[in-house]
Amino acid sequence: MLRYLNQCSRGRGAWLLMAFTALALELVALWFQHVMLLKPCVLCIYERCALFGVMGAGLVGAIAPKTPLRYVALIIWIYSAWRGVQLTWEHTMIQLHPSPFMTCDFMARFPAWLPLDKWLPQVFVASGDCAERQWEFLSLEMPQWLLGIFVAYLVVAVLVLIAQPLKPKRRDLFGR
């Protein structure tokens, strides 16, 4: 399996598939916000940023998958997935154990050099409460679903990283 993951990481298809899944999740989030009129909270916005990081990692990896740029993509992927796990865990705990002492900020804090909320407010401005449960599917809330998704991204990323030193199997006509 690790050799297979190594082989996949050296091709564009797997990287583009990862970018596409993250894009699909972003589009679903925008559907929830603008069509279903659910209000994203600050943690939702940060979770979106982590998804954009996974999507960016997929695009970076697809640029030149057979070069060391693949390792840059892996670092972005692991960092984004790890931050996604942290954020969704915090969000899940706020929803499962609401407390007046454990709340999220009123507005997202982006660095001055990257004011995403000013550049694209339709996507990055928070207007909801982190403790409010707005959506549920199969008895799981949205942050719980995202926690599973980010854990899956992280597990696969770590396995791909572990697989990097392995030599891909050479397949020729005579099986040497």
Q: Which of 49, 130, 133, 170 is catalytic?
A: 130
User: Would residue 104 show up in a list of annotated catalytic residues for this protein?
Assistant: yes
Q: What Rg, from alpha-carbon coordinates, does the chain have?
A: 18
Q: Which of 3, 10, 41, 171 is catalytic?
A: 41
User: Would residue 48 show up in a list of annotated catalytic residues for this protein?
Assistant: yes
> What is the DSSP track for 135-155?
-EETTEEHHHHHHHHHHHHHH
Q: Which of 49, 70, 83, 104 is catalytic?
A: 104
Q: Which of 48, 49, 70, 83 is catalytic?
A: 48
Q: How far, in whole angstroms, is CA 68 from its chain's centroid?
A: 22
Q: What is the distance between the alpha carbons of residues 95 and 73, in angstroms, rounded to a whole number? A: 32
User: Would residue 8 show up in a list of annotated catalytic residues for this protein?
Assistant: no
User: Would residue 130 show up in a list of annotated catalytic residues for this protein?
Assistant: yes
Q: Which of 10, 12, 44, 176 is catalytic?
A: 44
User: Would residue 170 show up in a list of annotated catalytic residues for this protein?
Assistant: no
Distances (CA, A) of 57 to 31, 49, 78, 161: 23, 12, 9, 13
Q: What is the distance between the alpha carbons of residues 45 and 51, in angstroms, rounded to a whole number? A: 10
* Catalytic (active-site) positions: 41, 44, 48, 104, 130
